[in-house]
Each structure stands twice: as structure tokens, then as C-alpha cells.
């Protein structure tokens, strides 16, 4: 089972530009979570802080009992091994074949023989549906294949946590739907913690167990998907509905701090389930126990959807 990430009071600025502050959330172990937000709200910066590529000024990031913001270099090195990252553009080496790209972390960080590497790379290529593309160069792949190659590379060291930075960027809606299914299938097969940052509404509405949103330098919320999906908060309803009427403007400068807007909460669509033949997601049972404890604190609408999902009649 994957590992939990606990974030407490995180703040990040670049010079005088504050990106976000007071971000606190827990990404539950082995579950699928999505962090949404309009462009430029600092989603990628958040992921980079989680893997230690950027250092926040305040707050804690607890993984396996260690604070990533205050640990020693050797502790950070060990913790980084728990993470696999799918970067926005796949971040593949352009002059290496797909096979060598996926094998790269194994050759760099382990002493495995080439025969062992071949077995592991082939396993991951099969998992992401890339068998047959071993000898291709990244430039010869479609955007969707590049994402899947990046995902295979992120998986090759068997991480406990996978961070995906806009896995849908540059993909058409159909390829995005395939990739969403792939992430759900992956979670069913390896029970790994997955955190996706995106502004894709369809991914947000179909993939995660947990959903959060960054807006105007704050975390609007983070928790079981039903909370945000039923939220009448104008900024959430506007974003998830993908329409113009609401506080989110054309750019950050035109976002409104306050005002009143009619909130139309978009209909909740069912969460994706693993493809036929795959095991059930172990996270479902764990999440049910976790959310059961939270039920009294949820809004009536959120509670109703949670219970309906568990088969309790409305
Ligand atoms: N290394 C950096 N130095 C200075 N500013 C940075 C740096 N990295 C990011 N920023 C700024 O932080 C802000 C948030 O950027 P980020 O890429 O995290 O947004 P995002 O929410 O992921 O956006 P998008 O959805 O468009 O990818 C932007 O204003 C960006 O210019």
C-alpha cells in the first residue's frame, strides 16, 4: 500500500510574489487524489515542493514520519525514492529510445543486471500499453504515448507515491479519458498513492477519491470528492462547471475577491472503476472506513452522494 503525505501550513513565494500560503492537506495512502486550480495558481510549484525540488518558506511536509522541509540530505535522498513523478511533458531524454528512457532510473539508482532491467522495463511497458514501442525515440511518439512512457519511467523503481503534473496536457479528450482509466487501473494493480494536479474538469470529476482546489493563493478545500463536487461555493461551482459566470476571471488580475453569483452545481458523474479483469481497488474499502468517520461533518448533499455511492438508497 502506498504512503500518506501530510502537508501542514505550507507557504511558498518567489521574491515578493506569494504563490500560496497556509496549505494544509492529507493525501491518503493508496488513494487517488486530484488538486485542481486555474492556470498559474501554483499547482506545479506545489508538486515540486513535495519532491523537494523547491523549498517552501513555511510549513511541514510529513512523509513516513520525516519532515521533507527540515530533514538531512541523506533523509531527503531516501524519501525521494518513494516518489515517482510524471512531468507535464513526460521529460523524456530525446536522444534515448523509449526502452532506455524507462531503464534509466534502474541503471542510475540500482545495481540490477541488464537481464533484470529488461524484465522490469518490459513489465512497466506492458502496464502502460507501450509494448512494441521500445526502439522508438520520444520524437517519434504521439503525445499520449509520451505520457505513457513518462508514466512507465515514473513507475520503474516501484514508488509508493506517484505525482502527475497535468497528465492531460496536450492530449485530446479521448486520449485523456484513456489516461484517466490507466491511472485508475494502475491504482487497482499496485495500490499506490497517486496525486494528480490538473485543470482538467473531466479528470477531476471521474478519477479521484479526493479532490482539492487552489485559488487566489489559498487551498479552497481538500477532501473526499463529494465535498467539492457538491459545493455551492461560487468559485468551485464555476470551475467544475467550466463556465464564465463567477469569480474566476480571464486572468489572475481579473479574479474577483468577493461578490455574489448564482451557483449551479454540475451533476456528479460516477467515478471510474478498474477495467474488466483487474482486481478491485483496495483503496475503496480503506476510504469507506475513513469517510464513514467524517460523515457527520459533511454537508447534506455530500453525505447523500457518499451514501448513494455505497448503495444506501437516497
Ligand atoms: N522557479 C520559479 N521562479 C519564479 N517564479 C516561478 C517559478 N516557478 C513557478 N513560478 C511562478 O509561480 C506561479 C505558479 O506557477 P505554476 O506553474 O505552479 O502554476 P500552475 O497552477 O501549475 O499553472 P498551469 O495550470 O498553467 O500549469 C506562476 O506565476 C509562475 O510564474
pLDDT at 78: 87
* CA 308 to centroid of ligand 1, rounded, Å: 38
3-class DSSP state of 155: helix
* Atom of ligand 1 lying closest to residue 15 CA: 4
Residue of the CA atom closest to atom 4 of ligand 1: 14
pLDDT at 173: 86
* CA 91 to centroid of ligand 1, rounded, Å: 17
pLDDT at 40: 87
Q: Are strands 58-63 and 210-215 parallel, antiparallel or unpaired?
A: unpaired
pLDDT in single tens digits along all 314 residues of the chain: 889 999 999 999 999 999 999 999 999 999 999 999 888 899 999 999 998 889 999 999 999 999 999 889 898 888 888 999 998 776 889 899 999 999 999 998 889 999 999 999 999 998 888 888 899 999 998 888 888 899 899 999 999 999 999 988 878 888 888 889 989 999 999 999 999 999 888 999 999 999 999 988 999 999 999 999 998 888 888 888 777 777 777 666 656 666 665 666 677 888 999 999 999 999 999 999 999 999 999 999 999 989 988 876 55
Cell of 311: 448503495
CA distances from 223 to 124, 137, 160, 218, 236 (A): 30, 40, 20, 15, 13
Nearest to 121 by CA among 138, 137, 107: 107
Q: Are 277 and 188 in contact (CB under 8 A)?
A: no
* CA 49 to centroid of ligand 1, rounded, Å: 12
pLDDT at 159: 94
Best substitution site from 18, 38, 43 to test ligand 1's pocket, by max atoms within 8 Å of Cβ? 43
End-to-end CA distance of the chain: 32
pTM: 0.90
* CA 58 to centroid of ligand 1, rounded, Å: 18
Best substitution site from 44, 48, 166 to test ligand 1's pocket, by max atoms within 8 Å of Cβ? 44
Composition of the chain by helix, strand, coil, percent to 5: 40, 20, 40
Residues with CB under 6 A from ligand 1: 14, 19, 37, 39-45, 166, 199
Note the ipTM here: 0.97
Nearest to 201 by CA among 22, 29, 4, 34: 34
Q: What is the CA radius of gyration of the chain?
A: 20
pLDDT at 248: 75
CATH class of the 5-82+159-225+247-256 domain in this structure:
alpha beta
Amino acid at each position: 500500500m502506498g504512503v500518506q503525505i501530510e502537508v501542514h501550513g505550507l507557504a511558498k513565494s518567489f521574491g515578493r510574489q506569494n504563490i500560496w500560503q497556509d496549505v494544509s492537506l492529507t493525501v491518503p495512502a493508496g488513494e487517488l487524489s486530484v488538486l485542481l486550480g486555474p492556470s498559474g495558481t501554483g499547482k506545479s510549484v506545489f508538486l515540486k515542493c513535495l519532491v523537494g525540488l523547491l523549498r517552501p518558506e513555511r510549513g511541514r511536509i510529513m512523509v513516513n514520519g520525516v519532515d521533507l522541509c527540515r530533514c538531512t540530505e541523506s533523509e531527503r535522498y531516501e524519501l525521494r525514492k518513494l516518489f515517482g513523478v510524471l512531468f507535464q511533458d513526460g521529460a523524456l531524454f530525446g536522444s534515448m529510445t523509449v526502452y532506455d528512457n524507462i531503464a534509466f532510473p534502474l541503471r542510475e539508482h540500482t545495481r540490477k543486471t541488464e537481464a533484470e532491467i529488461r524484465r522490469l522495463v518490459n513489465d512497466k511497458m506492458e502496464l502502460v500499453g507501450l509494448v512494441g514501442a521500445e526502439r522508438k525515440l520520444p520524437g517519434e511518439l504521439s503525445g499520449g504515448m509520451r505520457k505513457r512512457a513518462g508514466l512507465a519511467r515514473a513507475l520503474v523503481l516501484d514508488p509508493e507515491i506517484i505525482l502527475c503534473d497535468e497528465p492531460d496536457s496536450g492530449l485530446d479528450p479521448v486520449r485523456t479519458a484513456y489516461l484517466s482509466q490507466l491511472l485508475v487501473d494502475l491504482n487497482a494493480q499496485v495500490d499506490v498513492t497517486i496525486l494528480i494536479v490538473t485543470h482538467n474538469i473531466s479528470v477531476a470529476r471521474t478519477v479521484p477519491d479526493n479532490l482539492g482546489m487552489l485559488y487566489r493563493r489559498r487551498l479552497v478545500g481538500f477532501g473526499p470528492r463529494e465535498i467539492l463536487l457538491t459545493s455551492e461555493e461560487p468559485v468551485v461551482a464555476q470551475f467544475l462547471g467550466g463556465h464564465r459566470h463567477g469569480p474566476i476571471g480571464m486572468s489572475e488580475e481579473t479574479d474577483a475577491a468577493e461578490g455574489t453569483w448564482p451557483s449551479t452545481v454540475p451533476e456528479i458523474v460516477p467515478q471510474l472503476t478498474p477495467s474488466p479483469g483487474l482486481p478491485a481497488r483496495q483503496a475503496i474499502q480503506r476510504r469507506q472506513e475513513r469517510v464513514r468517520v467524517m460523515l457527520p461533518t459533511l454537508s447534506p448533499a455530500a453525505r447523500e452522494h457518499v451514501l448513494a455511492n455505497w448503495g444506501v438508497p437516497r
